[in-house]
A and B are shown apart, each in its own frame.
Chain A
Amino acid sequence: MRHRLLTLILFLALPAIANAATIVATVRDSRGIGVPDAVVYAVPERTASPSRKTAIMDQRNRMFVPHVLPIQTGTSVRFPNSDDIRHQVYSFSPAKPFQLPLYKGTPANPVVFDQAGVVTLGCNIHDRMSAYIVIVDTPHFEKSGADGRVTLNVPSGKYTVRVWYPSMRSEPAPIPMTAGASDRNEVVFTVR
């Protein structure tokens, strides 16, 4: 993985609808294999207002589900415990350090992530449980599938397209772009 180049291809296409553009990003390694669970997000020039949405990070079979959870800044995340054992979820990540004392079921209060960054989640009693919450300052984000492809529908405008993936050491260079109406913009991140 380390030595693999991941190419993110942005397809800049004409938007089918006025004021709407599509960014198609491909995250691949040096061998051209798509990287799954990569979060591609486009940060608009103008800062977006925080989200009020709620997301779910479930714990099922001693695993966090999903493994990677991208959210917009300000999103509340609930940590339901679907297992019949207790978990103690924590984060030491600077973006949001927190811990949920041993619990079963769903804690009363969701955790609000109001700072962009990556929060690494762990369970204090199950060292192997690990997950990432990727907090971005944009509503335009998507997680790649098995093929490493991501499609973002964004209003036309200027963006900086960025990527994060779990094994990332250093972030690949963000790709600035102007997405016109109906444009189909292809972006390729070739990551190491």
Chain B
Amino acid sequence: MVMRSFQAKLALLFVAVLVLLQTATLIAVHLAGQRTIRKSLGNELRVGSRLFDRVLDGRGRQLSETVRILSSDFAFREAVASNDEPTINSVLTNHRARINADVAMLISLDGTVVSDTLEHRITGKPFPLQELIREAAAGGEPSAFVSFDEHPYQLVVVPVVAPQPIAYVSMGFIIDERVLDDVRRLTGLDVSLWNASARNPRLISTVPPEYRDELYRRASALTPRTSDVDETVQVGGEDYQALLHPLRTEDRSRIYTLLQRSIAEAARPYHTLELQIFALSTAALIVALIAAILFARGVSRPLQQLAADAYRIEQGEYKGAIAVRQRDEIGRLATAFDRMRTGIAQREEQIVHQATHDTLTGLPNRTLFISRLASAIKWHPQAQSVAMIMMDLDRFKEINDTLGHHFGDLLLIEIGRRLSQTLPESEIVARLGGDEFAVMFFADDVDGAIAVAERISGALKLPFVLAGVSIDIDASMGIALYPRHAQDPENLLKRADVAMYDAKKNHAAFAVYETGRDEHSLRRLSILSDLRHSIERGELELHYQPKIDMRSERVVHAEALVRWRHPVHGFLRPDEFIPLAEQSGNIGVITKWVLGRAIRDCGEWNANGHDLAIAVNLSALDLFDSELPVYIGGLLAEANLAPSKLVLEITESAVMKDPAYALRILNDLKSRGVMLSIDDYGTGYSSLAHLRRLPVDELKIDKSFVLSLGNGAKDDLVIVRSTIELGHNIGLKVIAEGVEDARAWTIIRDLGCDMAQGYFVSKPLPAPEFAAWVESSRWGGAGGGA
């Protein structure tokens, strides 16, 4: 539409300018033509007028000659000489008729009219035109215009010689249409003549009789003039250029001639010229119009093409170069456009890639994975299932914390690479976020999916050597299949997630989703929302597990372990809800409740004579609470318990979150006399050198090492032994938890471990039972209750 109007505009401009110019030209030509016509008409009329005079002149001479010949007729002369009046009259009449003269007069030498043929005779009177006689006597051939009897005459006077002049004969010829016709033939002009002196002037003319009255009226309006007049007169509705030309008359009669020429007729050649110019102009206009349209089209077609291409690009279609190949500005525009197109295409590709891919590993992201999953579900082969494996790394957070984010990133990249290499046939390897990966493929059945999971597991078993550090990682994988486990991508993902958590919980490499397990995640949600109210509802309680001094084989410490008696889900272990409390920010409240209850219970035990210390686990988040040392101080004072009777157990990773801050808190606690213990030692990556800087008093070897001691695991034995030795070397007491049987007990005792904790001694017991156990057990308090 815009293009069309541009085309039209251009054409319109062309044509308007041309029309303007040509109109101006036509007007100029027309005006010049009009002027030229007037001028040339004026000239023509003046020339015509002179020609008319010449014609009359010649006619006069011719008449003179005729009359001269007549007058030399012997009989005529004889008759004239006879002096006999009747004879003279008759010879005059006769000879007048002979030469078709209209009037004849005989004049004596003294100028008296001797005889005449006029209607009103003037015989006996002097000839009215004496000058003519004198001229004739002098040998001239006088002719003059006079009026007789109302008619305009051309009159000649000729001497009658015998052989000397004996008289003069004058003959007159009425000027009639014949004369005017002659002039008209010669000049092409209409000629009119009238005697204004006459009582009833009559117009003789070459114009058609029907116009004569009108012409006479117009012409006589011009007549009191005596010289030539150039005028425009209108006759019969037509304009004429006319020249009024008074005849020089001898008798002062007013005889006028009027020469005229039709202006329209004179303009005819100009009309032809104008018509030709008009035709040429029109032709030029058409040519210009076509040229303008072609030109405009030449401009607008590539523009239209560009517009179409732009629309195409707008629609997101970037394929196909812009098809405008010109060397002009439009061509340059098109080139720029094309560059823009490829630029946009590249950027969009990049954006789409970024939107659908993980920037770190370059793997598809969750969005793309879900969409691929959707299309796989839609198009999957009938006989096959769409399988997906969700995987996350165990303790990736700790790796990140201890080895740095850069290392974590490198690890993720390498894992992505290994997954891709391991599963060349797989449809998709995606990183869903964090340390979470997903793999999608077609599998015949669950076993096929498990085979893939095993391959992945195998691939991850090899140590990762990155930035000079060699590291082993464990991953948990959840397997879910469509259509067996879910009907849509979201649910499939969720089920795989649930399966993955199962694997994690079971410390297995992978788990296949079991129908109904999905409620687990619902349970988590419910736990999360109930956690807030658990304390006020009194649903939390503490169990205590004794820690035995290996040398005295007496209970010295009790570790407080929190339990949640959930109204719906029943008895919950801390593994299940502590991470949720950490995530939801409720851990501080729980820690304070645990501390409060544990210190109070311990206060009571000590008051009852049992020399027991109480051990409480602190969450990593607790180490950010700067109020904690003061709070603990308050609790100890309240329970009248020495600070050395409180052991705070902290995991390595908790300290590593913000070591500087944690150190400050720990130092504060230490300065108050509180005992500090490193919990779950061996699962993190902190070195003993690092531990040395911490103000801790004991190390607690992670139960995973201790549990396997009973099975005779050599590796773990080495770890446990070296840990105990190293701990002792830097002045720490070492405690082993997870001691389940006598064999483990014996081993760690032989290794020189300071304390032991585990089912071999006692399971965690509620406060009253624990108190009873202390009373009754063989590990019972040293100085206690006995």
User: How far is A127 from B166 in the complex, measured between Cα atoms in Å?
Assistant: 14
Write out, one digit per residue, whether chain A residues 60-97 have a CB within 8 A of any chain B CB (1) or not (0): 00000000000000000000000000000011111001
Tell me whether A124 and B74 are in contact (CB under 8 A): yes
User: How far is A127 from B77 in the complex, measured between Cα atoms in Å?
Assistant: 12
**How close is B83's CB to chain A, nearest CB, in angstroms?**
8
User: How far is A123 from B162 in the complex, measured between Cα atoms in Å?
Assistant: 9
- Tell which of B77, B80, B83, B163 touches A128, judged by Cβ atoms closer than 8 Å: B163
Cβ of B72 within 8 Å of any chain A Cβ, yes or no, is: yes
Residues of A within 8 A of B163 (CB): 120-123, 127-130
Residues of A within 8 A of B80 (CB): 92
Which residue from chain A places its CB closest to the CB of B166 in the assembled complex? A92
Residues of B within 8 A of A127 (CB): 72, 161, 163
Cβ of B78 within 8 Å of any chain A Cβ, yes or no, is: yes
Residues of A within 8 A of B78 (CB): 92
**How close is B133's CB to chain A, nearest CB, in angstroms?**
14
Which residue from chain B places its CB closest to the CB of A92 in the assembled complex? B81
**How close is B75's CB to chain A, nearest CB, in angstroms?**
10
Interface of A is mostly: strand
Residues of B within 8 A of A130 (CB): 163-164
Tell me whether B81 and A122 are in contact (CB under 8 A): no
Q: Which of B78-111 contact A (CB under 8 A)?
A: 78, 80-81, 83
Which residue from chain A places its CB closest to the CB of B162 in the assembled complex? A92
Write out, one digit per residue, whether chain B residues 593-607 have a CB within 8 A of any chain A CB (1) or not (0): 000000000000000
Which residue from chain B places its CB closest to the CB of A128 in the assembled complex? B163
User: How far is A93 from B78 in the complex, measured between Cα atoms in Å?
Assistant: 10
Tell me whether B72 and A120 are in contact (CB under 8 A): no
User: How far is A123 from B72 in the complex, measured between Cα atoms in Å?
Assistant: 11
User: How far is A28 from B81 in the complex, measured between Cα atoms in Å?
Assistant: 32
Write out, one digit per residue, whether chain A residues 100-142 have a CB within 8 A of any chain B CB (1) or not (0): 0000000000000000000011111001111000000000000
User: How far is A184 from B150 in the complex, measured between Cα atoms in Å?
Assistant: 66
Q: Which of B473-487 contact A (CB under 8 A)?
A: none
Which residue from chain B places its CB closest to the CB of A167 in the assembled complex? B164
Residues of A within 8 A of B83 (CB): 94
**How close is B72's CB to chain A, nearest CB, in angstroms?**
6
Residues of B within 8 A of A121 (CB): 163
Count the A-B residue pairs with Cβ separation under 8 angstroms: how many? Answer: 30
Which residue from chain B places its CB closest to the CB of A126 in the assembled complex? B163
Which residue from chain A places its CB closest to the CB of B80 in the assembled complex? A92
Interface bracket on A: 10 to 19
Q: Which of B47-89 contact A (CB under 8 A)?
A: 72, 74, 77-78, 80-81, 83
User: How far is A122 from B78 in the complex, measured between Cα atoms in Å?
Assistant: 12
User: How far is A97 from B164 in the complex, measured between Cα atoms in Å?
Assistant: 14
Which residue from chain A places its CB closest to the CB of B68 in the assembled complex? A127
**How close is B40's CB to chain A, nearest CB, in angstroms?**
49
Residues of B within 8 A of A129 (CB): 163
Write out, one digit per residue, whether chain B residues 537-568 have a CB within 8 A of any chain A CB (1) or not (0): 00000000000000000000000000000000
- Tell which of A93, A94, A97, A122 touches B161, judged by Cβ atoms closer than 8 Å: A122
Which residue from chain B places its CB closest to the CB of A169 in the assembled complex? B109
User: How far is A123 from B77 in the complex, measured between Cα atoms in Å?
Assistant: 12
User: How far is A93 from B165 in the complex, measured between Cα atoms in Å?
Assistant: 11
Residues of A within 8 A of B77 (CB): 92
User: How far is A121 from B78 in the complex, measured between Cα atoms in Å?
Assistant: 13
Tell me whether B81 and A97 are in contact (CB under 8 A): yes
Most chain B CB neighbours (cut-off 10 Å) among A94, A124, A129: A124
Write out, one digit per residue, whether chain B residues 145-170 have a CB within 8 A of any chain A CB (1) or not (0): 00000000000000001111010000
Which residue from chain B places its CB closest to the CB of A118 in the assembled complex? B164
**How close is B158's CB to chain A, nearest CB, in angstroms?**
13
User: How far is A90 from B72 in the complex, measured between Cα atoms in Å?
Assistant: 13
Residues of B within 8 A of A90 (CB): 74, 162
User: How far is A58 from B222 in the complex, measured between Cα atoms in Å?
Assistant: 65
Residues of A within 8 A of B72 (CB): 127
Most chain A CB neighbours (cut-off 10 Å) among B77, B83, B164: B164
User: How far is A94 from B161 in the complex, measured between Cα atoms in Å?
Assistant: 14
Residues of A within 8 A of B164 (CB): 120, 130
User: How far is A121 from B162 in the complex, measured between Cα atoms in Å?
Assistant: 7
User: How far is A129 from B166 in the complex, measured between Cα atoms in Å?
Assistant: 15
Which residue from chain B places its CB closest to the CB of A132 in the assembled complex? B164
**How close is A170's CB to chain B, nearest CB, in angstroms?**
11
Residues of B within 8 A of A124 (CB): 74
Most chain B CB neighbours (cut-off 10 Å) among A92, A97, A122, A123: A92
Most chain A CB neighbours (cut-off 10 Å) among B72, B80, B161, B162: B162
Residues of B within 8 A of A122 (CB): 161-163
Residues of B within 8 A of A97 (CB): 81
Most chain B CB neighbours (cut-off 10 Å) among A91, A122, A123, A128: A122
Which residue from chain B places its CB closest to the CB of A130 in the assembled complex? B163
User: How far is A128 from B72 in the complex, measured between Cα atoms in Å?
Assistant: 12
User: How far is A68 from B133 in the complex, measured between Cα atoms in Å?
Assistant: 27
**How close is A37's CB to chain B, nearest CB, in angstroms?**
14
Which residue from chain B places its CB closest to the CB of A166 in the assembled complex? B164
User: How far is A130 from B83 in the complex, measured between Cα atoms in Å?
Assistant: 21
Which residue from chain A places its CB closest to the CB of B72 in the assembled complex? A127
User: How far is A91 from B82 in the complex, measured between Cα atoms in Å?
Assistant: 11
**How close is B237's CB to chain A, nearest CB, in angstroms?**
58
Residues of A within 8 A of B162 (CB): 90-93, 120, 122
User: How far is A66 from B72 in the complex, measured between Cα atoms in Å?
Assistant: 24
User: How far is A94 from B72 in the complex, measured between Cα atoms in Å?
Assistant: 18
**How close is B145's CB to chain A, nearest CB, in angstroms?**
29
Most chain A CB neighbours (cut-off 10 Å) among B81, B163, B164, B166: B163
**How close is A93's CB to chain B, nearest CB, in angstroms?**
8
Which residue from chain A places its CB closest to the CB of B167 in the assembled complex? A92
User: How far is A122 from B74 in the complex, measured between Cα atoms in Å?
Assistant: 11
User: How far is A138 from B77 in the complex, measured between Cα atoms in Å?
Assistant: 31
**How close is A103's CB to chain B, nearest CB, in angstroms?**
15
Write out, one digit per residue, whether chain A residues 12-47 have a CB within 8 A of any chain B CB (1) or not (0): 000000000000000000000000000000000000
**How close is A129's CB to chain B, nearest CB, in angstroms?**
7
Residues of A within 8 A of B166 (CB): 92, 120
User: How far is A122 from B165 in the complex, measured between Cα atoms in Å?
Assistant: 11
Which residue from chain B places its CB closest to the CB of A129 in the assembled complex? B163
User: How far is A129 from B164 in the complex, measured between Cα atoms in Å?
Assistant: 10
**How close is A59's CB to chain B, nearest CB, in angstroms?**
13
**How close is A162's CB to chain B, nearest CB, in angstroms?**
20
**12 A-B residue pairings within 8 Å (CB atoms):** A90-B74, A90-B162, A91-B162, A92-B81, A93-B162, A94-B83, A120-B162, A122-B161, A122-B162, A123-B163, A124-B74, A127-B161
Given known contacts A92-B77, A128-B163, what 9 new A-B pairs fall within 8 Å (CB)? A91-B162, A92-B78, A92-B81, A120-B162, A120-B164, A120-B166, A124-B74, A127-B163, A130-B164
- 6 tightest Cβ-Cβ pairs between the two chains A and B: A92-B81, A122-B163, A130-B163, A92-B162, A120-B164, A124-B74
